[in-house]
Amino acid sequence: MRVLSGIQPSGKLHIGNYFGAMRQHLHLQHENDGFYFIADYHAMTSNPAPDDLAARTFEVAMDYLALGLNPQKTVFWRQSDVPEVIELSWILSCITPMGLLQRCVSYKDKVAQGLSANHGLFAYPVLQAADILIFKSDIVPVGADQKQHIEVTRDIAERFNQTYGELLKPPADHILESVAVVPGVDGRKMSKSYGNTIEIFEPESSVKKKIMRIVTDSTPVEEPKDPDKCNVYALLKLVASPEELTQWRERYQAGGMGYGEVKKRTAELMMEYFRPYRQKRQELQNDITYVKKVLADGAARARAIARNTLNEVRNAVGLRS
């Protein structure tokens, strides 16, 4: 099965990104043909500063490689290095009804969050469809909030096929079964837009400080506590063994435990979990040539497939040489 996913270089990756999606993406590469790209074209919808976009794109590449992406098995590239996707996006936009895009809730949500109402943001689902269809992807792992965009991709593929013949493969979605909504230090869902993140590769001293100031309730030390309503316990579940987790649950329910104890242990386990990846990340930072080669090789492999699909599409719509 060919699995495709992209991630925007919109800022430093945090543990919510990892436990909510990235870890599952990396797992899927072992049993499937992975096609993973850094979506720098998509990131442009928020009009980032040029230097920031370039730097963040390269940082995401190093992050994914450090966390276990295998470039020998998985095709890994920068979206802008495969320009065929932009031409396909234009062709698809010409058969995409306006009403289909107007029904997409993500555009309204992002505008409500303060992003400028530009055409790129509005037409985002068409470019996403081109990303998926040009590689004839079988499944696309997404969160529940992206399910509508996969449905839009299927609608666009079916409309194209009805018009020009059965050529594009409508993908199946693969809804990621997140361990939980990862809380940020303020108790809300961890998100760059809230400024409440714990970054994957920030200094360990900073990780510990952030975990120690996670918002908790005011239950006295001697009183029993509900672990399932505790932001710290939600993070502990991500890194503790089942046996240790059982012990902590019993301590919560018995009372006599302060939140500072579980915060300290959560910080220790979180740092231990990411320490090997942190070491690999530093090695990559010192071998930029290797990272560039991985992206170049991935782009070459991706372009070969994208070019074949685009040639088929061009021929079908009448753009023949």
- Output the DSSP codes for 18-70: IIIIIHHHHHHTTTSEEEEEE-HHHHGGG---HHHHHHHHHHHHHHHHHTT--
What's the confidence (pLDDT) of residue 180? 55
For 68, 70, 195, the CA distances from 62, given in Å and listed in that order, are: 10, 12, 22
255: left (phi over 0), alpha (psi -120 to 50) or beta: left
Q: What is the pLDDT of residue 112?
A: 75
pLDDT one-digit tens code per residue, 223-259: 999 999 999 999 999 999 999 999 999 999 999 999 9
The whole-number pLDDT of residue 192 equals 85
CA distance 94 to 85: 14
Looking at the chain, the domain(s) classified CATH 3.40.50.620 span 2-181+288-317
Catalytically annotated residue among 110, 210, 225, 237: 110
Q: What is the pLDDT of residue 177?
A: 62
Q: Which of 12, 169, 192, 280 does the annotation list as catalytic?
A: 192
- Where along the chain do the CATH 1.10.240.10 domains lie? 201-282
CATH domain 2-181+288-317 topology? Rossmann fold (3.40.50)
Residue 280 known to be catalytic = no
Q: What would the DSSP string read from start to end of 250-300?
A: HHHHH----HHHHHHHHHHHHHHHHHHHHHHHHHHHT-HHHHHHHHHHHHH
Question: Taking Cα atoms as reference points, which of 223, 269, 278, 213 lies closest to residue 245?
Answer: 269
- Going by the DSSP 8-state scheme, the letter that residue 179 receives in this structure is S
Q: What is the pLDDT of residue 181?
A: 75
pLDDT of the residue at 179: 47
Q: Please check whether residue 17 is in contact with residue 50, taking contact to mean a CB–CB distance below 8 angstroms.
A: no
Q: What is the structure's pLDDT at 46?
A: 87
Report d(CA 3, CA 67) in Å as an integer: 18
Q: What is the biggest distance separating any 2 CA atoms in the chain, rounded to whole angstroms?
A: 79
Tell me what pLDDT residue 117 has: 80
pTM value is 0.90
User: How far apart, in whole angstroms, are the C-alpha atoms of residue 298 and residue 277?
Assistant: 22
CATH of 201-282 among 3.30.750.24, 3.30.450.40, 3.40.50.620, 1.10.240.10: 1.10.240.10
Q: What pLDDT tens digit does each residue of the chain (321 aa) get?
A: 999 999 999 889 999 999 988 998 899 999 899 999 999 999 998 899 999 999 999 999 999 999 999 999 999 999 999 999 999 999 999 999 999 988 887 777 777 777 778 898 889 999 999 999 999 999 998 877 678 888 999 999 999 999 999 999 999 877 766 545 799 999 999 988 789 999 999 999 999 999 999 999 999 999 999 999 999 999 999 999 999 999 999 999 999 999 999 999 999 999 999 999 999 999 999 999 999 999 999 999 999 999 999 999 999 999 986
